[in-house]
Amino acid sequence: MKKAVLTRASKLFAVTTLAAGISLANAEDTIKVGVLHSLSGTMAISETTLKDTVLMMVAEQNKKGGLLGKKLEPVVVDPASNWPLFAEKTRELLAKEGVDVIFGCWTSVSRKSVLPVIEELNGLLFYPVQYEGEESSRNVFYTGAAPNQQAIPAVDYLMKEVGVKRWVLAGTDYVYPRTTNKILESYLKSKGVDAADIMVNYTPFGHSDWQTIVSDIKGFGSAGKKTAVVSTVNGDANVPFYKELANQGISAEDIPVVAFSVGEEELSGFDTSPLVGHLAAWNYFQSADADINYDFIDQWHAYTGDDSRVTNDPMEATYIGFSMWAKAVEKAGSADVDKVRQAMYGMTVPNLTGGMATMNANHHLSKPVLIGEIQADGQFDIVWQTDGEIKGDAWTDFLPESKNIVADWTAPINCGNYNIVSKTCGSAVAAE
């Protein structure tokens, strides 16, 4: 413990001196990598890890001699969990620092804030977090899961393998849970689930008093039918939520909770022994049994100097994004955004679970979907996984308004929201 603190302090010192040093050694012969993750404010808890992951990957790449004979130079900024600041910092990275690629953002709103800037200045953003879909920008590669790569398979698993008949959809009140729940509601109804067997509940960000809601869930679940909770509760609110679940004695055998935003990192903040058996759906778990994964974990522990640090899905998404970008730069022979973008399509790199990740023309990845059960040590035990990789769907098929829309950034379509019925790009035209 003490050692970890010491190393952290010395690392902090190193980073600052490094930051000061970097701005001096601002030479032409580097490829600049922007890192746009909040290091302070409410999102720092999740995003700081991703900043470290990118820095680790950059260091690793530089050890291998960089790219195209040039060293990679990370440029770290802190958008401080402030959404307008994300846009401002993006402009700073692209216009002032002239970075060739940006790894960053966590929340949907930060991505939405960055979007106009990155499109205007033709930058390149790798977005590593699972999200609600309904978007495909020419300048963004989405390496996290789309709803069809997380929510739908998880519900399928609960329905088929666990026999769940009654559903609680609990989420934080923002766009990702709203969309996911909407998709799930329509999916569940299509599978014959009665509206009375679905309970939807939204809570504010950082909600900390879960007594009433957990007790409602308990009540809802004691109606005789097998009940499960699908949780899209976000970030900070999860710890008090799970603590309350544990305290009120809701065990996984009675009412399993499957979460889409709870990974190893969130679990590391509390004692999971009362929560054994609750589930999460991701494209990666630290417990994945693959050599490449063990290498990655060792590398991470060496980099952080702390072998109790866990890895998680957004880290894998960052890893895949970075490897793909590096490979694309080599392939294109340049870090130029348009050339790299073209090189990305169809690009394949190994993922950390032993399979391959492919970048599709809609800027989303093909990934496997894994269901894990929480273990007493804060890890997940993988209990189920899809047979192969699932292709990320930018526009969900379960909502009427996006059913006919697809994204394809290769010729001849070359469009992020192409209406397959009217065969036009941008539904504006289609609506007429």
- Which residue in the set 194, 330, 338, 377 belongs to the binding site for other proteins (CB under 8 A)? 377
What's the rounded Cα separation, in Å, for the pair 115 and 108? 10
Which of 121, 331 has the CB closer to other proteins? 121
Decide: is 120 part of the binding site for other proteins (CB under 8 A).
yes
| Touching other proteins, residues 236-275 (CB under 8 A) | 236, 239-240, 243-244, 246-249, 252-254, 256, 265-266, 268-271, 274
Owner of token pair 């957990």: 214
What's the rounded Cα separation, in Å, for the pair 336 and 122? 10
CA 308 to chain centre: 22
Decide: is 408 part of the binding site for other proteins (CB under 8 A).
no
What's the rounded Cα separation, in Å, for the pair 69 and 96? 24
Q: Do residues 252 and 278 make contact, with C-beta atoms less than 8 angstroms apart?
A: yes
- Short-list 170, 366, 379, CA closest to 256: 170
| 8-state DSSP, 355 | S
What's the rounded Cα separation, in Å, for the pair 291 and 59? 21
- Nearest approach in angstroms of CB 299 to other proteins is 13
Beta bridge partners of 367: 390
- Nearest approach in angstroms of CB 310 to other proteins is 9
Give the interface segment with other proteins, choosing from 40-48, 332-340, 347-355, 360-368 (CB under 8 A): 40-48
Q: Tell me the residue ranges of DSSP E strands in 37-155.
A: 71-77, 101-104, 125-127, 140-142
Which of 12, 68 has the CB closer to other proteins? 12
Give the interface segment with other proteins, choosing from 74-82, 142-150, 192-200, 346-354 (CB under 8 A): 74-82
Provide the angle, in degrees to the nearest 10, between the axes of the packed helices 44-63 and 291-304.
100
- Which residue in the set 79, 128, 147, 153 belongs to the binding site for other proteins (CB under 8 A)? 79
Decide: is 98 part of the binding site for other proteins (CB under 8 A).
no
Decide: is 190 part of the binding site for other proteins (CB under 8 A).
no
- Which residue in the set 10, 19, 194, 338 belongs to the binding site for other proteins (CB under 8 A)? 19
Decide: is 316 part of the binding site for other proteins (CB under 8 A).
no
| Touching other proteins, residues 148-177 (CB under 8 A) | 161-163, 173-175
